[in-house]
């Protein structure tokens, strides 16, 4: 006898580009949206009864329709609007999870000033958020912050592929050495990584754009100035700084692969290598990940 324990369904990779036009400038956003709905859909799985199913094509159209009237300038704001819209129109849904990934575009610097209507991509970094909004248990009003607060709302934001490198203040020594160890100790190595991070916001209204900038700046400041004894050592210091400086963050997860640059042995050519010539190695690479929370909140997801 089979039993349906959990399920969710939705639409993924809904691409959206939006221009907000102003008298003096335009704003341009490029987002990739995923919607996942939870609810009592057992009749569809077990009996092929689709009467409680919102088509995924309708979800795709909903993204564009909500975007047309949305005032949101952040991925968090848009994800909250979209999840609230889906919840308000579909009482069969118990929860709507919306994930938005942003490909950042910046105003093109031209003659020392940002051009008002031309944009440039400066990196492969991506911004992310996942908003999970649960049904309130009563017939909800359709819009507004007031109705959003009546529902259980979880906001987890982050960034991906923030590629950074430091050429000083990074060491690795004192580790276990056995019969298979060939790695020499180093007191002055290159430290490169592609940071993946996600953090959980406490339940309140925030200026998400300002918070994202601050979190990113704190992470980069620690990476640049920390005297690193290992990737783990610096990862923890970066997370600790965010929790110290940004009260809106409850916990933060950091994933930092160690993108190696290995010194080249030039002795066979009759040359020295004063820690200046390296070969970048993408694979295999070290992989370090940890979630750090405030003291006393480690049980929170």
Catalytic residue numbers, as ranges = 11, 56, 260
Q: Report the C-alpha gap between 126 and 21 in whole angstroms.
A: 23
How many alpha carbons lie under 13 Å from residue 290 in its C-beta half-sphere? 14
Strands 9-21 and 26-39: antiparallel
Contact indicator for 157, 208 with CB cutoff of 8 Å: yes
Pairing of strands 278-293, 106-110: unpaired
Distance (Å, whole) CA 251 – CA 291:
7
**Pairing of the two strands 126-134 and 93-102:** antiparallel
Per DSSP, 111 falls in state: T
User: Quick check: 127 and 104 in contact, CB under 8 A?
Assistant: yes
CA 59 to CA 56: how far, in whole Å? 5
For helices 208-225 and 231-245, the axis angle rounded to 10 degrees is 140
Query: Rounded to 5 degrees, what are φ and ψ at 53?
Result: -100, 125
Residue 115 φ then ψ, to 5°:
-70, 135
Q: Which helix (H) or strand (E) holds 224?
A: helix 208-225
Where does 167-212 show beta strands of DSSP type E?
191-201
């Amino acid at each position: 006898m089979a039993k349906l324990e959990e399920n969710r369904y939705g639409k993924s990779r809904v691409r959206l580009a939006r221009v907000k036009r102003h008298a003096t400038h335009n704003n341009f956003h490029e987002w990739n949206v995923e919607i996942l709905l939870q609810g009592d859909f057992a009749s569809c799985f077990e009996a092929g009864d689709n009467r409680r199913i919102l088509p995924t094509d309708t979800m795709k159209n909903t993204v564009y329709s909500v975007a047309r009237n949305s005032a949101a300038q952040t991925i968090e704001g848009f994800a909250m609007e979209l999840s609230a819209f889906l919840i308000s129109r579909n009482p069969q849904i118990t929860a709507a999870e919306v994930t938005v990934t942003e490909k950042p575009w910046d105003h093109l610097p031209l003659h020392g000033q940002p051009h008002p209507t031309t944009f440039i991509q400066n990196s492969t970094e991506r911004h992310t958020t996942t908003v999970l909004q649960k049904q309130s248990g009563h017939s909800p009003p359709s819009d507004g912050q007031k109705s959003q607060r009546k529902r259980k709302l979880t906001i987890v934001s982050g960034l991906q592929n923030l590629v950074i490198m430091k050429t000083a203040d990074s060491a690795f020594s004192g580790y276990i050495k056995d019969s298979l160890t060939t790695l020499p100790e180093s007191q002055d190595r290159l430290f490169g990584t592609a940071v993946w991070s996600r953090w959980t916001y406490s339940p309140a209204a925030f200026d998400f754009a300002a918070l994202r900038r601050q979190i990113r700046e704190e992470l980069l400041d620690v990476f640049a100035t920390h005297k690193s004894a290992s990737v783990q050592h610096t990862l923890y210091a970066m997370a600790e700084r965010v929790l110290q400086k940004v009260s809106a963050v409850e916990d933060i997860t950091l994933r930092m692969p160690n993108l190696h640059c290995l010194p080249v042995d030039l002795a066979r050519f009759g040359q020295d290598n004063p820690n200046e010539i390296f070969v970048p190695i993408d694979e295999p690479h070290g992989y370090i990940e940890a979630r750090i929370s405030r003291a006393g909140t480690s049980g929170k997801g």
